[in-house]
């Protein structure tokens, strides 16, 4: 089966299902004895003893077949041994979606806590990267709290937020999630403030389609104007204008310095560790969330920032050092205004 596993991994569609999730999902096709008998019959099995195109058409025409559990290893081996059947599964969008959904239900049933979990970070700290990898490894949906929930029936593992405080996160939950769940698990992600501000500066210019002075961005640009997290100004907290620098100071103080309520289950993650030691750090996150999955290495290299054609290498740990001449004015402001935060988070000023 090793050659088959390698083949599956090579043709896997990136970011849709990890190999581990796919392999488990192939075991959830059938359960009903009547249906199982039909699959084993000559009516559905081709001459080679595997599912032919006619068989797949019959299976795909009946939604109930996709939600059943296949308990017979013999039949599973016969399906997995046939390259055509594997390709049919991988290339059929509806079947992939069904397999993913069924597997998600199975995975969530064993978690022991309420979903969604929350990923909290300051903008441009690597939250897109973390969630892309997390979704690819687990097969469970991860998205932004600011984006519409596409389908209430599909479980969401993680919602990312750029809340400056716990109070603001509760306000977001109240505004954006109808069921208003209490956070059961929170992943707190941080990154070197100098890399954060360079990326945030580039992002804001691209989104606003305008040039912003490097020396004015940190202290004279409004955070809620730069970060599209409350476009309609419906927030019930943080009424007063707040600069990007002030928002960052408050974010670090409220999430990483001041004690959080004892009932919150939080995991602190450093972005640079995710990049430099992905196996170890993502396993910590999987364990924290109770997920039985492993890292899909191909997804780690996925480019998640596509809003700009800037030549600067993105996602690099401590990339600000190579870009100091280009962003000298901005970095001088950051080093001066956020010195305490740089030290608190464990970076060298």
Whichever domain contains 203, its CATH number is: 3.40.50.300
Q: Is residue 117 part of a domain?
A: yes
Confidence check: pLDDT of 41 > 80? no
Q: Is residue 73 part of a domain?
A: yes
Confidence check: pLDDT of 20 > 90? no
- Tens digits of residue pLDDT in 301-313: 654 444 444 556 6
35 & 170 share domain: no
Question: What is the structure's pLDDT at 102?
Answer: 54
89 & 167 share domain: no
Residue of 340, 162, 175 whose CA lies nearest to 257: 340
Structural domain ending residue among the three candidates 75, 108, 141? 108
Q: Does residue 214 contact residue 201 with C-beta atoms inside 8 Å?
A: yes
195 & 276 share domain: yes
99 & 116 share domain: no
- Report the alpha-carbon angle 154-157-158, nearest 5: 125
Question: What is the structure's pLDDT at 327?
Answer: 97
Question: What is the structure's pLDDT at 245?
Answer: 98
Q: Is residue 170 part of a domain?
A: yes
* Mean pLDDT of all residues in 216-223: 95
* Mean pLDDT of all residues in 152-167: 88
232 & 336 share domain: yes
Average pLDDT across the chain, whole number: 76
125 & 101 share domain: no
Q: Could you tell me where the beta strands, DSSP code E, fall in 226-301?
A: 265-270
Q: 325: which 2 tokens?
A: 């001449």
DSSP codes, 84-145: HHHHHHHH-HHHHHHHHHHHHHHHHHTT-SPSPEEEE--TTSSHHHHHHHHHHHH-SEEEET
Confidence check: pLDDT of 137 > 60? yes
Confidence check: pLDDT of 175 > 60? yes
Q: Does residue 66 contact residue 34 with C-beta atoms inside 8 Å?
A: no
Question: What is the structure's pLDDT at 59?
Answer: 55
Question: What is the structure's pLDDT at 141?
Answer: 86
168 & 64 share domain: no
214 & 336 share domain: yes
Confidence check: pLDDT of 342 > 50? yes
Lowest mean pLDDT among 110-119, 198-207, 244-253: 110-119
Overall pTM > 0.85: no
Structural domain ending residue among the three candidates 39, 74, 108? 108
93 & 127 share domain: no
Highest mean pLDDT among 105-109, 138-142, 228-232: 138-142
C-alpha 191/C-alpha 214 separation (Å) is: 20
Q: Looking at the 3D structure of the chain, how many domains does it have?
A: 2
Q: Does residue 161 contact residue 118 with C-beta atoms inside 8 Å?
A: yes
Lowest mean pLDDT among 9-18, 71-80, 128-137, 283-292: 9-18
Instruction: Sheet with 141-144: list strands edge to edge.
Output: 141-144, 156-161, 117-120, 185-190, 265-270
* Mean pLDDT of all residues in 124-142: 89
Q: Is residue 162 part of a domain?
A: yes
Instruction: Report residue 72's pLDDT band, with 50, 70 and 90 as the boundaries.
Output: very low
Q: Is residue 153 part of a domain?
A: yes
227 & 329 share domain: yes
3-state secondary structure of 243: strand
C-alpha 227/C-alpha 160 separation (Å) is: 13
Question: What is the structure's pLDDT at 272?
Answer: 96
Considering only residues 286 and 96, tell me which one the structure prediction assigns the higher pLDDT: 286
Cα dist. 31→49, 66, 80, 206 in Å? 20, 10, 18, 52
- Report the alpha-carbon angle 150-154-157, nearest 5: 95
Q: Does residue 84 contact residue 117 with C-beta atoms inside 8 Å?
A: no
Considering only residues 313 and 103, tell me which one the structure prediction assigns the higher pLDDT: 313
Q: Is residue 349 part of a domain?
A: no
Q: Is residue 257 part of a domain?
A: yes
36 & 85 share domain: yes
Question: What is the structure's pLDDT at 86?
Answer: 53
For 119, the domain range is 112-344
Question: What is the structure's pLDDT at 260?
Answer: 93
Structural domain ending residue among the three candidates 80, 108, 136? 108
Residue of 191, 208, 171 whose CA lies nearest to 252: 191
124 & 97 share domain: no
Q: Does residue 79 contact residue 42 with C-beta atoms inside 8 Å?
A: no
Question: What is the structure's pLDDT at 77?
Answer: 54
């Amino acid at each position: 089966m090793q050659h088959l596993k390698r083949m599956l991994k090579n043709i896997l569609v990136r970011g849709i299902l990890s190999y581990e999730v796919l392999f488990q999902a192939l075991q959830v096709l059938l359960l009903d004895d009547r249906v199982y008998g039909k699959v084993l019959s000559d009516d559905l099995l081709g001459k080679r003893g595997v599912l032919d195109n006619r068989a797949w058409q019959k299976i795909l025409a009946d939604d109930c077949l996709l939600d059943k559990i296949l308990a017979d290893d013999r039949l599973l081996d016969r399906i997995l041994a046939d390259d055509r059947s594997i390709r049919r599964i991988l290339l059929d969008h509806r079947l992939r979606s069904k397999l993913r959904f069924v597997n998600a239900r199975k995975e969530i049933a064993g978690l022991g806590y309420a979903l969604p979990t929350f990923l909290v970070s300051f903008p441009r700290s690597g939250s897109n990267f973390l969630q892309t990898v997390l979704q690819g490894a687990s097969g469970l949906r991860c998205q932004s709290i600011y984006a519409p929930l596409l389908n209430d029936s599909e479980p969401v593992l993680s919602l990312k937020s750029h809340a400056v405080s716990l109070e603001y996160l509760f306000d977001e939950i109240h505004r954006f999630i109808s069921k208003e769940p209490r956070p059961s698990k929170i992943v707190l992600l941080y990154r070197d403030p100098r890399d954060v501000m360079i990326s945030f500066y580039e992002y804001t210019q691209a989104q606003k389609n305008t040039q912003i002075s490097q020396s004015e961005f940190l202290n004279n640009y409004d955070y809620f104007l730069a970060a599209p997290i409350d476009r309609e100004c419906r927030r019930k907290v943080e009424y007063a204008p707040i600069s990007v620098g002030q928002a960052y100071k408050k974010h670090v103080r409220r999430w990483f310095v001041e004690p959080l309520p004892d009932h919150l289950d939080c995991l602190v993650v450093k972005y640079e560790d995710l990049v430099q030691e992905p196996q170890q750090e993502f396993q910590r996150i999987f364990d924290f969330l109770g997920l039985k999955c492993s890292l899909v290495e191909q997804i780690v290299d996925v480019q998640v920032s596509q809003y700009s054609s800037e030549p600067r290498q993105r996602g690099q740990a401590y990339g600000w050092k190579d870009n100091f001449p280009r962003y000298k004015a901005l970095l001088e402001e950051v080093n001066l205004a956020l010195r305490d935060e740089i030290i608190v988070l464990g970076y060298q000023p």
